[in-house]
Amino acid sequence: MARQQFKRKNSEAAREAVALIIEREISDPRIEMTTVTGVEVSPDKSYANVYVSNDPERYDKVLAGLESAKGRIRSLLGQALGWRNTPELRFFIDDSIDEGQRVADILAEADARRERFKAEEDEDV
């Protein structure tokens, strides 16, 4: 239990730091408007999986920009966190927001169909 809380605390601290670094310290236009949705730091702090979101059309550019800035981000992260070891960063796209939007669109379309069907039934009566 305490180990989980320690891991969660480290991951949240890393998420906040990476988000601020990307927002304020990295001026690469490929990563503009990128949101850090989560960070998972390994128990030994040797690596951190960083999950980001942006417009789906820009995913490749975002990952390329982050890979290009990885060394600078890692260096600034080390300074911000003050940990003995700074984790190696691995960037991933978090498409859960896109999936949520896709589900919402499907539900909205189903509601619209149901309303059209109901309206047609009311006309037939």
Sheet strands (E) in the chain: 35-41, 47-53, 88-93
pLDDT tens track for 38-53: 999 999 999 999 999 9
Helix (H) or strand (E) holding 20: helix 2-24
Helix (H) or strand (E) holding 54: none
pLDDT tens track for 34-93: 999 999 999 999 999 999 999 989 999 999 999 999 999 999 999 999 999 999 999 999
Q: How far is CA 104 from CA 35, 55, 83, in A?
A: 21, 17, 41
Phi-psi region of 103 (alpha: psi -120 to 50; beta: other; left: phi over 0): alpha
Residues 6+ apart with CB under 8 A from 3: 43
Q: Which fold has domain 2-94?
A: GMP Synthetase; Chain A, domain 3 (3.30.300)
* Average pLDDT along the chain: 90
Domain coordinates of the chain in residue numbers? 2-94, 96-125
- pTM of the full predicted structure? 0.78
**Cα separation, 16 vs 6, whole angstroms:** 16
Question: What DSSP state is assigned to residue 31?
Answer: G
Tokens of 81: 């966190």
